[in-house]
Amino acid sequence: MSVRVRRGRTALGAVLLLAVTACTTTAEKDPAEPPKAEPGTLRILASSELSDMAPVFEQVERNTGIKVRPTYMGTLDAVDLLGKGRAKGAYDAVWLSSNDYLRLNPAAAKHIVSQTSVMSSPVAIGVKNATVRKLGWKPESVTWADIEGAVADGNLTYGMTDPSRSNSGFSTLVSVASGLSDAQSALTDRDVQQATPRLKEFFKGQQLTSGSSGWLAEAYDRRGNVDALLNYESVLKSRKDLTVIRPRDGVVTADYPLSSLASTDQSTRETVRRLTDALRSPATQRLITDRTLRRPVVASVAPATGLDTTRRRELPFPGSRSVADGLLDAYENKLRRPSRTVYVLDTSGSMSEDGRLDRLKKALTDLTGDFRDREEVTLMPFGSAVKSVRTHVVRPENPRSGLDGIRKDTRELSADGDTAIYTSLEKAYEHLGADDDTFTSIVLMTDGENTAGAGPKEFDGFYAGLPRKQQEIPVFPILFGDSDRGELEHIADLTGGRLFDAQKGSLDGAFEEIRGYQ
């Protein structure tokens, strides 16, 4: 799921205006090409995390004859699609982790005519078993204040998905803010303001950020020195190395409602109802909880073995746009660690072809509206070698100065020379050094194969010789033009990054999607 806090717009308003982006995950499909209508088939716009429901869909089809054809995307991307009216005629139903965002967006909410919860999963924290013992915690008694205290004492670090991009991340942020503000009902603007100092302390413990739960888990395993993960219970329970804790003072829960679209006919809505009934049947509820570790919504079906059945306070979603805006804005620009990124940009001679350089300039210029306060951005264009190294900081007291500097350097990019990918990456690592106080990353955009300077073996040796802290800096390559997928996948795998595909999607979209990982 992706949301953006655009400078000059309200946070939630930006969320609902976000264009859908394309990346290399196989679960996601380009929404510009929705599935064609077929008899006996329901085309469902679904949250990406529901890709683990494939065995359930197969069973339902055997039982009912209803074939489910999901198109997976982020929850808030789907809200954007609905708000723009682009789901009409393209999909028959919507199945998101939560419809709470719809209720804050009338343009999207009007397209929904019914909704029925199918399963649930609360926010939780998964803590390494050894860390739980070290802290002396009893899982059933832990509160958000206890977690904050462990962070403040330097005894707990964690990873979580970006609240401005991920529904699980935002649900976590709401849970933490509610717990640390002692809010007795839905968060208010005053609650957020009162909780800000404690939230700032809490987020000092965040060592990993991500736009997706899958990559977050991979980064967590790769790092090995982070104590915990914050995510949905169903994601955390699949790991045997973590003790899963639902804080005693409450959490937000995803309820996964299956919703009919107003644009469909009565026959289609009846098929959606039949599918809902099939998903809520005791046998299917049992399959869902056993296979996905989500909780059943039918009282006669017990949760899967290992799911805590003790009651916890259910925290409400913010009831107004201003609260959601304030919470996201505070996280992006005040609470979280600042970002530090080097953009290693191919400006070789081939970038003069087919308007490629113009597309790069447009994508970078558009991206300046997305940079956060305190963010450090370095542009490192290269051809046969690195051409220049220009660093800008978006300072809260004068953000325009840094953003104007980035735009000026972007306008001056020119295409010439060969393509020295690996030598340029080495320069990026040397520029960054090691920094414990920022989310640090490298973005590599190239339209061709390496033709100059160091080769892959030399870079592998260079990377192996870096200090451990520098090895923790991921490279996020963008597949563009005639670049080599295998070459870029190797760079992503070696450094713990992730490949983004601008050959199938847009260059703008790839840059924007990466923002969830910075």
User: What's residue 322's pLDDT?
Assistant: 84
417 found inside a domain:
yes
Q: Is residue 21 scored above 60 in pLDDT?
A: no
Residues with Cβ < 8 Å from 95, sequence gap 6 or more?
Answer: 44, 45, 46, 47, 50, 70, 118, 256, 257, 258, 259
Q: Is the pLDDT of residue 27 over 80?
A: no
Residue 303 lies in a domain: no
Q: What is the pLDDT of residue 81?
A: 84
* 274 plus 221 within the same structural domain: no
Residue with tokens 């542009």: 379
Are residues 201 and 132 part of one domain?
yes
Whether residues 271 and 371 fall in one domain: no
Is the domain of 205 the same as that of 93? no
Which residue is associated with the tokens 């009893």?
A: 138
User: Any idea what the CATH number is for the domain that residue 137 is in?
Assistant: 3.40.190.10
Q: What angle do CA 434, 439, 442 make, to 5 degrees?
A: 75
- Structural domains counted in the chain: 3
Lowest mean pLDDT among 88-92, 152-156, 421-425, 488-492: 88-92
Instruction: Please give the Cα distance from 200 to 330 (Å, whole number).
Output: 9
In a domain, 307, yes or no: no
Average pLDDT over residues 424-439: 92
pLDDT single digits (tens) 339-387: 999 999 999 999 999 899 999 999 999 999 999 999 999 999 999 999 9
Q: In this structure, are 399 and 494 located in the same domain?
A: yes
Residue 11 has pLDDT above 90, yes or no: no
Asked whether residue 96 falls in the same domain as residue 144, the answer is no
Q: Output the pTM of the full model.
A: 0.87
Do residues 515 and 494 touch, judged by C-beta distance below 8 A? no
Domain residues for the domain of 395 are 338-517
Beta strands in 170-319 (DSSP E): 206-210, 228-232, 242-245, 253-254, 257-261, 295-296
Residue 344 is encoded by which pair of tokens?
Answer: 């290693």
Residue 304 falls inside a structural domain: no
pLDDT tens digits, 263-285: 999 999 999 999 999 999 999 99
* Per-residue tokens: 213: 């739960």
- Which pLDDT score, from 0 to 100, does residue 36 have? 67
pLDDT at 179 over 70: yes
User: What are the pLDDT digits (tens) for 106-129?
Assistant: 899 899 999 999 999 999 999 999
DSSP 239-277: -TTEEEE--TT-B-EE--EEEEETTS-HHHHHHHHHHHH
Residue 97: inside a domain = yes
Residue 171 in any domain: the answer is: yes
Q: What is the pLDDT confidence band of residue 13, given thresholds at 50, 70 and 90? A: very low
pLDDT of residue 480: 94
Kindly state whether residues 105 and 215 are assigned to the same domain: no
Higher pLDDT, 292 or 185: 292
Q: What are phi and psi of 210, to 5 degrees?
A: -165, 155
Domain match, 410 and 480 both: yes
Does one domain contain both 415 and 490? yes
CB 48 within 8 Å of CB 27: yes
Residues near 448 by beta carbon (within 8 Å), at least 6 away in sequence: 346, 348, 350, 419, 481, 482, 483, 484
CATH number at residue 344: 3.40.50.410
How confident is the prediction for the chain on average, in pLDDT?
89
Q: CB under 8 Å to 143, separation ≥6 — which residues?
A: 179, 247, 248, 249
- Least confident span in 312-321, 391-400, 424-433: 312-321
Percent of the chain with pLDDT over 90: 73
Q: Where are the alpha helices (DSSP H) in 18-118?
A: 54-64, 75-83, 100-103, 106-109
What backbone torsions phi and psi does residue 218 show, to the nearest 5 degrees? -65, -45
Cα–Cα distance between 292 and 313 in angstroms, integer? 23
Same domain as 277, residue 248: no
N residues, the chain: 518
Is there a domain that residue 431 lies in?
A: yes
Same domain, 112 and 261: yes
Contact 118, 281 (CB under 8 A): no
Q: What is the pLDDT of residues 40-81, one digit of tens each?
A: 799 999 988 898 999 999 999 999 999 999 998 877 678 888
Question: 66 in a domain, yes or no?
Answer: yes
If asked whether residues 272 and 372 sit together in one domain, one would say no
CB atoms within 10 A of CB 468: 9
